[in-house]
Structure 1
Amino acid sequence: MEFSPFNNVVKLCLQGMDMEENGKPEEAIKLFQKGWNEASNNFEKFLAAHYIARMQTTAAEKLKWLESTLQFALSTNNDSVKSALPALYLNIAKCYEDLHDTKKAKENSELAISFQNNPSDKGPFYHGTKADLKVGDYLKTGGNSNYKSEIKMNHIYFTALVNGAGLAAALAKGDGVERVYMVEPTGIYENDPNLTDKKFPGNPTRSYRSESPLKIVGEVTDWVRQTPEELQKFREKLANNKGEIIN
């Protein structure tokens, strides 16, 4: 399943996070529980269980929900879910520490370390922009950010979700045509730290960055376009973002 901010369970989790940030935990847990009740596949259950676990006030209850989250994660053959495993195992280890089970705590800490490797995602990968480029060109560091022109880019960002690249193209500054290019990393790459484990567990948007150039190997024209109203909401979120952009 492809992660989408327009999926109903994802929407409920986003609404719950907003309630959390506004100091309304009771409303937040209701929304997360509604997401759990409406979840129809392991990926959606994994997301909802993660947030319900986060709201628990005792180590035992938190552990119960974290272990449910883990089971749904392991049964979902999805690279975006695999990226959540290190943090998930660490959180489980912390619960066992709080419950004075040092053996289980150690086991889960070691599992967390074992999953902290390079991303397993093999693509295909996409980059969304309004720049007019051609096959064989290279995207390189040092340019201005698509979203904040005062920021010089130390990394090139890309995603394995074509719709995510399409959204990035639509939100990019400039009046050019929205373009989504197929790209190949020429060096090592890592999970995008601006997204990974920030709001959603792991890297559900399959977003990555690299200091090495990306080679353009093709262009796609078919992706889901958002409505003007939906794009305006995303632009407002970008404009109101008070968090530091890690670059």
Structure 2
Amino acid sequence: MSKTAHIIRHLAFEGPGLLAELLPAHGYRLQQYDAGITPLPEALPNPDDLLLVLGGPLGANDTADYPWLAQEIALIRKQLHRRAPVLGICLGAQLMARALGAPVMAMPQREIGYAPLKLNHAGSASPLAPLQGEAVLHWHGDQFALPHGATLLAASAGCPHQAFAIDNHALALQFHLETDWQDIERWLIGHTGELRASGIAPASLRQAAAQAGPRLRTLAQQVLSNWLAALPGNQAPNPDW
């Protein structure tokens, strides 16, 4: 395999999830970096390499406390400016927005749990189309503004900006499409403090995961596979997106 997926992980239990299965099937070998520990390259060596930036409990504006976040933003910016593949999830999506000059700010209240996604016209014509009205996993207290030149794809009742795309080479997802519902217990343990602070009972999330998870897993695999297949350097992209 000549292509590499460079994965930046901020928290041990928030790994690539379903993407760990899908990426090798699309011809990628996996290279993982633990944020703040594993040194990041200044740029990715291959123009067809994918930069995958995962979620975490940090804020995209926390560069004073975590200086290495500035290195992540710089790497994302380089990848985006060369129009190379980038996929950002939750914190990763917010870092993409910052790399493009858009602000990231706190929401009035956290959005945690499974809730429906609302796609706009562009989202319905994108690889996200199967997610229209589907309950997806949200877990964030910040939100990004839409960067200049980006196309808004989705919203939710609690957050007006849930996903954006830049042509067919970059995708930012505020929600956690990569997470397999069978891994939710890791999240319930790891985010105990946040759940208590938000007044959310783990049992309610556990139940919601069991209800929405099996269908969402199938849809997530379809969406992520379609997006990967449409990347530059892979098979020809969908002409309607």
Same fold (TM over 0.5): no
The structure with the largest alpha-carbon Rg is 1
The structure whose residues are more often helix, as a share, is 1
User: Normalization by structure 1: what TM-score?
Assistant: 0.29
Q: Which protein, 1 or 2, shows the higher relative CO under an 8 Å CA cutoff with sep ≥ 6?
A: 2
User: Normalization by structure 2: what TM-score?
Assistant: 0.29
